[in-house]
């Protein structure tokens, strides 16, 4: 009995010492949206989510390993709070590849990291570096009906936003952070990802890719360039974008240019201009974006132009109410529609979001 008590005391002391060197946070966002979509063919009204910020449940932690080194993890699941389900994921970065979901799926991010003053080495499922400019320089943060048409119309394929099976190096971005950079100086994010196919087949490289983002933040100025290239069974897709913003005090103005190229196939390019205007604790958001596609011969065959206007009122640091209106006009073969509506090629569509966001 005495030996058992001593062993228990030693184990308790060891666990206490370990926990003193570690920190684990449980966090999340619940965002509910009443969404209306109108198109030339069909309309749709629904209760959905993520109209202002993406609904999610997350776990993250960092352990000090000594000598300036740290270890960390980040597990983040998308939450469909309108119906109580979790999101799905693509396990091999391929259009017809394996996917998972239905239960608790860490589809948004699932990474483990090791780092220090030299930077951070990160492995797992994560955002692609070439996605970040879309959300950083979009006044609507790529959420809800106001999301830039550069992202909605993108030809970038399954790795436009995230990739599985990644290994990445990050510099100047804060350890185990959200990859947006610390807001000061030069920062970089380079990532390689794998489709994990057997060798010898014509599609052995399907889902393999490389992406990087190089940015600079100094006071009110933010600039970043990114490029990503992914091999698919149908050909390689390369996405390039360049964005920037400047905080004038009365408003933060932003701009983004993007280009997508499918080897031997279509091309797409677009521009965005927008602003976030603070009104005390509230904010006005406005953006105009345009994306057009070309055939392999270089002939423009479709164009989608979108205007978005939104208002956010912050009731507290955690809770906000928001409303967004957007209209997209199509030409040529483009048939982009909003909030689940459908529209004919060359037609137009409007959409509205009314919602509440709570963070914890």
pLDDT digits (tens, 9 = 90+) for 193-210: 999 999 988 889 999 999
**Predicted local distance difference test score (pLDDT) of residue 178:** 84
Tell me which of 129-138, 171-180, 205-214 is least confident: 171-180
Is 2 among the domain residues?
A: no
13 lies in a domain?
no
Q: Is residue 1 part of a domain?
A: no
| CATH number, domain with residue 79 | 2.40.160.10
Q: Are 136 and 150 in contact (CB under 8 A)?
A: no
What are the tens digits of pLDDT across the range 5-45? Answer: 344 344 344 344 444 457 899 999 999 999 999 999 999 99
**Across 40-174, where does the E strand assignment appear?**
44-49, 56-66, 69-80, 85-86, 89-90, 99-100, 109-116, 119-127, 162-171
Domain membership of residue 19 (yes or no) is: no
Domain extent for 74: 26-359
Domain assignment of residue 21, yes or no: no
Residue 215 lies in a domain: yes
User: What's the confidence (pLDDT) of residue 14?
Assistant: 37
Q: How far is CA 252 from CA 141, 145, 234, in A?
A: 13, 21, 40
Inside any domain, residue 206 = yes
Please tell me the total count of domains within the chain. 1
Residue 3 lies in a domain: no
pTM over the 0.85 mark: yes
- CA distances 311 to 71, 141, 145, 323, 360, Å, are 40, 13, 13, 5, 22
Tokens representing 133? 């400019």
């Amino acid at each position: 009995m005495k030996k058992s008590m001593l062993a228990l005391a030693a184990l308790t002391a060891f666990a206490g010492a370990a926990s003193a060197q570690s920190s684990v946070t449980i966090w999340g966002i619940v965002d509910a949206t009443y969404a209306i979509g109108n198109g030339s063919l069909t309309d749709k009204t629904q209760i959905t989510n993520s109209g202002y910020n993406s609904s999610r449940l997350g776990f993250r932690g960092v352990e000090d390993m000594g000598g300036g080194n740290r270890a960390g993890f980040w597990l983040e699941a998308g939450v469909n709070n309108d119906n109580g389900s979790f999101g799905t994921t693509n396990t091999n970065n391929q259009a017809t590849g394996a996917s998972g979901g239905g239960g608790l799926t860490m589809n948004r991010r699932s990474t483990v990291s090791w780092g220090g003053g030299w930077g951070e080495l990160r492995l797992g499922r994560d955002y692609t570096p070439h996605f970040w400019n879309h959300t950083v320089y979009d006044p609507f943060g790529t959420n809800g009906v106001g999301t830039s048409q550069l992202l909605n119309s993108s030809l970038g394929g399954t790795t436009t936003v995230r990739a599985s099976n990644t290994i990445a190096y990050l510099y100047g971005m804060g350890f185990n952070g959200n990859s947006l950079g610390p807001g000061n100086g030069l920062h970089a994010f380079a990532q390689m990802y794998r489709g994990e196919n057997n060798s010898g087949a014509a599609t052995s490289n399907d889902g393999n890719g490389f992406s990087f983002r190089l940015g600079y933040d100094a006071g009110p100025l933010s600039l970043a360039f990114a490029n990503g290239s992914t091999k698919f069974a149908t050909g390689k897709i390369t996405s390039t974008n360049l964005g920037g913003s400047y905080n004038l005090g009365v408003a933060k103005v932003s701009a983004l240019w993007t280009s997508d190229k499918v080897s031997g196939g279509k091309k797409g390019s677009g521009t965005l201009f927008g602003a976030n205007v603070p009104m005390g604790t509230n904010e006005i958001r406005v953006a105009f974006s345009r994306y057009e596609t070309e055939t392999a011969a270089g002939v423009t065959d479709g164009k989608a132009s979108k205007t978005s206007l939104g208002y956010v009122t912050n009731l507290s640091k955690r809770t906000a109410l928001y409303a967004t209106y957007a209209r997209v006009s199509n030409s040529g073969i483009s048939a982009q529609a909003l909030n689940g509506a459908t529209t004919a090629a060359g037609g137009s569509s409007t959409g509205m979001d009314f919602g509440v966001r709570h963070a914890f």
